[in-house]
C-alpha cells in the first residue's frame, strides 16, 4: 500500500503545471458538478456517501485528467510586452470510494490542490535568462465517512502531501536579481488532516462543510549556481514552507426536476503561514531568506447543471478568486492576480467533458517602474465514473 501511494503521488506530481493561482469553477469538475450524467454525487471530496445516493452499488471509481494551458504576460512602462512559454500540462485526478455497510464508507482521493508558477524564455526581468518556477502540492486523502442518519454524515482522515519546488532563475538579493543563474529542484513529504460534514437540509437543499489542516513538508533537494563556465553544486533544505489550512462551504439546490444550482465559498488561510521561507545550503553554509508575505485568499463559485434527459447533462459556472501575493512581491517568478473564470461542461452517462477559461490582470507601480501583469488559463477536463 505504501509503495502504491508513493508511486501515485510521484506520478501525479510529475505532471504538475505552471498554471497560476486562478481557481476552477462549478462548470468543470468541482463544487457540485459531479462527473456522471445525473445530478447526484458529493458536494465536496470528503463526502463519500454522495457517490452512493440513489444507487445500490457499493464501489465507485472516478478518474480523469485536466490539460492546463497557461499564458502569462507582463507589460512595462514603455509598452514592451513579454509572454510566457507556450506550454500545456497534464494533471490527473482520481477518487475511489467503497461502501462497507449501511453507515460507513471509506475512500482515497488523489488531487493537486496547490500549484503556482510560471515559465519564460529569455526573461527580460531576469537578465534575459530562461526562467521556470513551480510550487505545488499533491495530496492523498484517506477518508472515512460515517452516516449519522439519513440527513447527516461526517467524514475525516489523514492527508499525505508531496510538495515539489522547481526554481530556475538568477540568484537574487531581496528580489533584486543578480547575473548568476541558478537551478533548484526539491521535494518532500508532509502530513495533515481533514474533516467534513454533509447535511441534507431538505429533499432539494444540501450543504457541505470541509476543513483541511496546514501541511508543512520536509523538503530537500539539489541546486546548481552557474558562475560563467563553472558550476557550484550544493544540497539544499527548504524550511517554513507551509501550505495553508483551507475551509470550504458548498451547497446545492434542486430548483426543478431538471435544474440544479450549486455554489461554494473557499478560504485559504495564508496569513497564518510563515512570511519567510528559509533556503539552507549545506556546503556553502549559508541560509537565504525568501520573503513571501502571502495574504488570505477567498474564492467564490456559482454554477448550474441542467439535465436534458436520462443520458445528457449540461453544466455552466463562473468564479472569482482574490489575489494572494501582495503587489510588492509580484514578479515574473511569482506572478498572481485576482481573477475570474467561466466554465462550460457536458456529461454523457458516466463521462464528463469541460472547458474553463480564467483571466485576470493587475497594474503595479508608477512611472517607469509600472508593470501590468496578466494571466489567462484554459483548462480542459475529461473524466469518467465507474460503479460496481
Look at residue 373 and tell me whether its pLDDT is greater than 90. yes
Q: Where are the domains of the chain?
A: 2-387
Output the pLDDT for position 288.
Answer: 85
Closest CA to 120 of 160, 70, 79: 70
- Classify residue 149 by burial, with Cβ atoms within 10 Å: 0-12, 13-18, 19+: exposed
pLDDT, tens digit, 9 for 90 and up, residues 33-83:
343 334 556 778 888 998 887 788 899 999 988 888 989 999 999 999 999
Banded pLDDT at 312 (limits 50, 70, 90): very high
Look at residue 231 and tell me whether its pLDDT is greater than 70. yes
Output the pLDDT for position 41.
Answer: 62
Architecture of the domain spanning 2-387: Beta Barrel (2.40)
Backbone angles phi, psi at 12, to 5 degrees: -65, -45
pLDDT, tens digit, 9 for 90 and up, residues 238-263:
999 999 999 999 999 999 999 999 98
Look at residue 159 and tell me whether its pLDDT is greater than 70. yes
User: Mind giving me the DSSP string for 213-247?
Assistant: --B--EEEEEEEEEETTEEEEEEEEEES--BPPEE
DSSP 123: -
CA 243-70-370 angle, 5° bins: 85
Banded pLDDT at 27 (limits 50, 70, 90): very low
Output the pLDDT for position 29.
Answer: 40
Give yes or no for a contact between 88 and 69, defined as CB atoms under 8 angstroms apart.
yes
Which helix or strand (DSSP H or E) is residue 13 part of?
helix 2-13
pLDDT, tens digit, 9 for 90 and up, residues 100-150:
999 999 999 998 888 888 899 999 999 999 999 888 999 999 999 999 999
Output the pLDDT for position 46.
Answer: 85
pLDDT, tens digit, 9 for 90 and up, residues 70-103:
899 999 999 999 999 998 888 888 999 999 999 9
Look at residue 376 and tell me whether its pLDDT is greater than 70. yes
Amino acid at each position: 500500500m505504501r509503495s502504491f501511494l508513493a508511486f501515485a503521488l510521484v506520478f501525479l506530481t510529475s505532471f504538475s503545471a505552471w498554471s497560476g493561482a486562478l481557481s476552477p469553477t462549478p462548470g468543470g469538475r468541482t463544487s457540485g458538478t459531479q462527473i456522471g450524467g445525473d445530478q447526484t454525487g458529493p458536494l465536496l471530496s470528503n463526502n463519500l456517501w454522495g457517490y452512493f445516493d440513489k444507487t445500490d452499488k457499493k464501489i465507485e471509481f472516478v478518474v480523469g485528467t485536466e490539460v492546463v494551458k497557461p499564458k502569462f504576460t507582463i507589460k512595462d512602462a514603455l509598452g514592451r510586452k513579454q509572454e510566457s512559454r507556450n506550454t500545456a500540462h497534464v494533471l490527473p485526478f482520481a477518487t475511489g470510494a467503497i461502501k462497507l455497510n449501511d453507515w460507513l464508507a471509506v475512500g482515497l482521493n488523489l488531487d493537486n490542490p496547490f500549484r503556482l508558477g510560471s515559465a519564460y524564455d529569455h526573461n527580460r526581468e531576469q537578465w534575459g535568462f530562461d526562467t521556470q518556477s513551480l510550487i505545488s502540492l499533491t495530496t492523498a486523502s484517506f477518508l472515512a465517512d460515517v452516516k449519522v442518519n439519513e440527513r447527516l454524515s461526517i467524514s475525516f482522515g489523514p492527508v499525505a502531501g508531496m510538495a515539489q519546488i522547481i526554481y530556475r532563475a538568477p540568484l537574487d538579493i531581496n528580489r533584486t536579481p543578480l547575473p548568476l543563474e541558478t537551478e533548484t529542484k526539491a521535494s518532500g513529504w508532509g502530513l495533515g488532516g481533514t474533516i467534513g460534514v454533509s447535511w441534507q437540509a431538505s429533499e432539494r437543499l444540501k450543504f457541505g462543510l470541509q476543513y483541511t489542516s496546514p501541511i508543512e513538508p520536509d523538503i530537500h533537494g539539489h541546486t546548481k549556481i552557474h558562475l560563467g563556465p563553472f558550476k557550484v553544486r550544493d544540497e539544499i533544505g527548504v524550511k517554513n514552507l507551509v501550505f495553508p489550512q483551507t475551509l470550504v462551504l458548498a451547497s446545492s439546490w434542486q430548483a426543478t426536476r431538471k435544474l440544479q444550482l450549486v455554489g461554494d465559498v473557499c478560504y485559504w488561510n495564508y496569513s497564518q503561514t510563515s512570511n519567510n521561507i528559509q533556503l539552507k545550503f549545506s556546503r556553502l553554509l549559508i541560509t537565504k531568506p525568501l520573503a513571501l508575505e502571502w495574504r488570505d485568499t477567498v474564492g467564490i463559485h456559482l454554477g448550474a447543471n441542467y439535465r436534458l434527459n436520462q443520458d445528457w447533462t449540461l453544466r455552466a459556472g463562473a468564479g472569482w478568486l482574490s489575489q494572494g501575493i501582495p503587489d510588492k512581491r509580484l514578479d515574473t517568478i511569482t506572478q498572481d492576480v485576482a481573477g475570474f473564470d467561466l466554465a462550460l461542461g457536458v456529461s454523457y452517462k458516466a463521462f464528463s467533458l469541460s472547458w474553463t477559461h480564467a483571466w485576470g490582470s493587475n497594474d503595479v507601480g508608477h512611472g517607469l517602474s509600472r508593470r501590468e501583469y496578466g494571466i489567462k488559463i484554459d483548462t480542459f477536463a475529461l473524466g469518467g465514473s465507474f460503479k460496481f
